[in-house]
Structure 1
Amino acid sequence: MSSPRFVRSIGAPLPRRLLSFALAALLVNVGLSGGYASANDVTKGYIVVFRTGVAAGAKTDEVERRIGFAAEFRYASALQGFAAHLNSVQLARVRADPDVAFVSDERVLHTIGSVPIAAGDSAPPGVRRVGAATTTTVREASTSNVAVIDSGIDLSHSDLNAVNGKNCISGGNAKDDNGHGTHVAGTIGAKNNGAGVVGVAPGTKLYAVKVVNAQGSGTDAQVICGIDWVTANAAALGIKVANMSLGGSGADDGNCGNSNGDALHRAICNSVAAGITYVVAAGNSSEDFSADVPASYNEVLTVTAMSDFDGLPGGAGSPSCGDGYFEEDDSAAGFGNFTTAGSADAVHAIAGPGVCIQSTWPGNRYQTISGTSMASPHVAGVVALCFGEKGATGPCTGLTPAQVIAKMRTNAAGHGASDPSSGFVGDPSHPIDVYYYGYLAWAGALDTVAPVISAVSATGITHEAARINWTTNENADGQVEYGTTAAYGSTTPLNTTFATSHAVDLSGLTPTTLYHYRVKSRDPSGNLSTSGDFTFTTTVVRADLALTGTVSPEPAAVG
């Protein structure tokens, strides 16, 4: 893990410098207040996680008094513990405390973005591309509120329904002194007010949670401070979705940080357990996001970036910003992180528009920037819409975060597979080698109509085999149920290839027997159609050709 961005040196007083190592050790062992350290010992940032059941507030008070430091953050919801700068002696004493589960090194995380350019005033192409708007219509505010864990939000921007949440950098209001968080906020929920741009879920209430500074960086102690606030207040404030367009180095231990001592992971797991769906950016390093956090955590929905310049599939759009000239329309973004097909991370990956994205900017302005940071809020907005609009419930109401993630991916896959032309180069229907970006998130209307089955027939019938044929009016998979009664009893393996023409071979049948069969096809959106009952009769066994008499060779000529 990386060391903290800022470290402070503690100069020991002169008498302490004269102590022998033995005496210094003795002072530690007898429990004198304060952490005695050498003159060149420096403090570093750490996150201390208590064991389950420990009263975090009282325990932090006791440890502060006994060891001699002041905690910078106290956690009681996403974690039970605290963050503090400690020297090596203090660290050793904290780790030796039986109430401490583990201690994490504090890392630096950064917002994931790019260079801003020209402003615009429209329903941005990305919002249209995920099905949340057309050139003339938009969606309405989500029933769920959304936490933007970022650089803060311009709380006075006229195009945003943003309110103060928590400032984990300097206290006070979580106002944005960087711009990144305000841009993210606009993509999620910029108002449909006749000016500027509209977001995926226009007018949705957005809670500003400031965890990175004006330079776009913050420690994971500060990020955990934000997560802790969201976790503590989500139920009361109606927050069901949190966007985190930030990241740093790290890995998923598959155990919520309990195996590798990752406090950030544990905090997110506990927050997810409280019912909050986390949508996070994959990162902009053109590499596998397995080495990045929180992107690699299995409990989050990780968003890769694709380019869309006109709000339409087909690859015919032209870029509207400098970043776009390095990308192709309707293709995976070259700067974006990815995972690999079949990996553990593929099951929580999805794509969103992330190139030349117009959105809100501090000072009642608008900017266009690129990055997976811009892709993530598109998906966060889609998740928010799934919880309902205008106070009504939606398809995600009552679902756990894991179920919400699965639904988002199912909707995206269903839309992409049912209409492959709606996808992009790099999605699973148009893969690039082994790179996996996921299907494009989809907030539009979903296919709820089952395939129409027709032209069912049995051909090539023998005493032991037959071929069952049928067609569907849309791409669908195929399977046959068959048996000697209308109860069937036997089923062929599912043919998972989506097609409109289907043929399935039956074998191992009994001669001169009447068979019942029916066919089943399911489209990419999961709509199942089952045919009526059909029959065929196998033939009698045909004897092999038998030869009678003898055949002698012609006599050889002797000459």
Structure 2
Amino acid sequence: MSTHYLRHLGIALSLTAALQAQNPGDKAPGRYIVELKAGASVPAVAARHAVLPDVEFSDVFKGFAGEIPVARVGALRQDPNVASVVEDRITGMHAKPAKPGNGGGGGTISRSAEVLPAGVARVGAIPGVIAQTGSGVGVAVVDTGVDFNHPDLPLGSKSFKAIVSRNRLQLSEGATVGQDDNGHGTHVGGTIAARQDGFDVIGVAPGATLYAVKVLDSAGSGYDSTVLAGLDWVAKNAATVVPAIKVVNMSLGRPGTLGDNASYRNAVKKLRDLGITVVVSAGNDQSKEVSGVVPATYPEVIAVASTTAKDGTDDIGWFIGADTASYFSTDGAYNASTGIGVSISAPGEDQENIVSGYIQSVGILSTRLGGGTTRMSGTSMSSPHTAGVVALLYEQAGGAIDPESVRAKIMSSASNVGVAPFNSPTSSYTFDGVREGVLDALGATGTTIP
């Protein structure tokens, strides 16, 4: 269970974590992403510099990625057909705590009576009240994969996998190659679109179709290049799969800056230009703002921060209420001029309980790898609530709505604008100056409760 000290106790937070050889944001030694200029040929450039690409990008931009000897990088950068050469970097999922499934207990390992999760209820995605269900809308889950064997998850006929093994990126496409082997993507997918079938949980958009785009491995780790391969697959297939992909959810990221990988941003821009809305998690480092997180910093995405879905419990005479900023959430005020910042907050945990002076996070209930349900906390869980509402908007518009109009609807219809998120009581929390409100499916779709 996730814990955090309260500010009123005046005690500094101390966290320990196992040392890892590579962490999100680290450069991947010897791996590079190469973007070419218009008209250039990938085989010709690769042959000229005696490099063997792992993957060729064709739809989000023209280029390739792979292991390149350092001695050849300088010449590549000087090649008149090359637009950029950047080092590949490690990225990872945005779930807290790090151990999958440990978000406050609860859940089942087999099918059980259907539950309306607290997060889905908080954003107002109430079954039978909103006319839209996401029917006819495809949502690409760019993540650890999705469990094809979970009966509560509506999956499309195509899936994709991009994983680096022994420093080489390996790609595959097929009906079930995007099978989850971690649990994170399965949980995310359930929040977006778990079926209303009387079992387990119901998602925000239970009529939508999920496409598993596996770019993170069994440990929840990947590379910029695996993410780019996944986005390239989405761009290539979005209009030809049925239903068409209109929404991408990316509950992942790494420390970084707006300009540290222009190719990554170009890929997101391409999806935006295709009319696809990209929803991403803000991050789980409360010391950062989204301007320091990739891809959350990109103006072309909808970056989502985390709040509590309902009131917590206490043992010291007061409690942390619903719509409070989660103690772990990255934030950052949205700047309309630059397009950078948190567009909306949404539930990333059910509640925060106070136990012996510590905050304990109770995670969002959603689908579990292997069947049943489980709980997880993090901005990884905030993003899919928003992606689900975006799917509702695409259905409502008959698919004819652009990503910036989607953002405008999400932001203008939020509940408690100017009031929420409420300040977290933790010592590490710093108010970013804007209370953007909490995601509201009823407001976004213009639904009124009789």
TM-score (ref. length: structure 2): 0.77
Q: Identify if the C-alpha distance between structure 1 residues 342 and 64 changes in structure 2 by more than 3 Å, giving closer, same or farther.
A: closer
Structure 2 distance, partners of 1:276, 1:131, is: 24
Q: Which residue of 2 aligns with 1:160?
A: 153
**Structure 2 unaligned blocks of 5 or more:** 1-23, 109-113, 164-169, 350-362
User: Percent identity between the aligned chains?
Assistant: 34
Root-mean-square deviation (CA, aligned residues, Å) is 2.8
1:100 is aligned, of 82, 87, 90, to: 82
Aligned residues: 378
CA contact (8 A) 1:243 1:280 kept: yes
CA contact (8 A) 1:147 1:206 kept: yes
Structure 1 distance, partners of 2:305, 2:342, is: 11
CA contact (8 A) 1:426 1:436 kept: no
**Structure 1 unaligned blocks of 5 or more:** 8-43, 254-259, 310-315, 320-324, 389-393, 450-559
Q: Which residue of 2 aligns with 1:478?
A: none
Structure 2 distance, partners of 1:2, 1:244, is: 16
CA contact (8 A) 1:160 1:203 kept: no
Please state if 1:304 is matched with 2:319. no
The alignment partner of 1:107 has SS state of strand
Post-superposition offset of 1:349: 1.4
Q: Which amino acid aligns with 1:249?
A: P
Please state if 1:278 is matched with 2:278. yes
Please state if 1:80 is matched with 2:62. yes
Where relative contact order (Cα < 8 A, 6+ residues apart) is larger, the structure is: 2
1:146 is aligned, of 135, 139, 146, to: 139
Q: Which residue of 1 aligns with 2:400?
A: 398
Q: Which residue of 2 aligns with 1:32?
A: none
2:390 is aligned, of 380, 383, 386, to: 383
Structure 1 distance, partners of 2:374, 2:299, is: 32
1:425 is aligned, of 422, 434, 439, to: 422
Q: Identify if the C-alpha distance between structure 1 residues 102 and 326 changes in structure 2 by more than 3 Å, giving closer, same or farther.
A: farther
Residues 293-332 of structure 1 mapped to structure 2, 5 A cutoff: 293-309=294-310, 316-318=311-313, 328-332=321-325
CA contact (8 A) 1:49 1:263 kept: yes
CA contact (8 A) 1:327 1:333 kept: no
Post-superposition offset of 1:150: 0.4
Q: Which amino acid aligns with 1:119?
A: G
2:119 is aligned, of 120, 126, 148, to: 126
1:349 is aligned, of 337, 343, 348, to: 343
CA contact (8 A) 2:25 2:90 kept: yes
Structure 2 distance, partners of 1:318, 1:135, is: 30
Residues 5-154 of structure 1 mapped to structure 2, 5 A cutoff: 5=28, 7=29, 44-54=30-40, 59-115=41-97, 116=101, 117-119=105-107, 121-133=114-126, 140-154=133-147
The alignment partner of 1:340 has SS state of coil
Q: Which residue of 2 aligns with 1:335?
A: 328
Structure 2 distance, partners of 1:152, 1:300, is: 21
2:194 is aligned, of 190, 206, 221, to: 190
The alignment partner of 1:168 has SS state of strand
Q: Which residue of 2 aligns with 1:244?
A: 250
The alignment partner of 1:296 has SS state of coil
CA contact (8 A) 1:123 1:135 kept: no
Q: Which amino acid aligns with 1:243?
A: N
Q: Identify if the C-alpha distance between structure 1 residues 229 and 411 changes in structure 2 by more than 3 Å, giving closer, same or farther.
A: same
2:371 is aligned, of 360, 364, 367, to: 364
- Computing the radius of gyration over CA atoms, which structure comes out larger, 1 or 2? 1
Structure 2 distance, partners of 1:383, 1:229, is: 21
CA contact (8 A) 1:145 1:205 kept: yes
Q: Identify if the C-alpha distance between structure 1 residues 409 and 445 changes in structure 2 by more than 3 Å, giving closer, same or farther.
A: closer
Deviations 1:120-142 (A, max 9, x none): 65110100111101699996343
Q: Which residue of 1 aligns with 2:4?
A: none
CA contact (8 A) 1:3 1:45 kept: no
TM-score (ref. length: structure 1): 0.63
CA contact (8 A) 1:2 1:105 kept: no
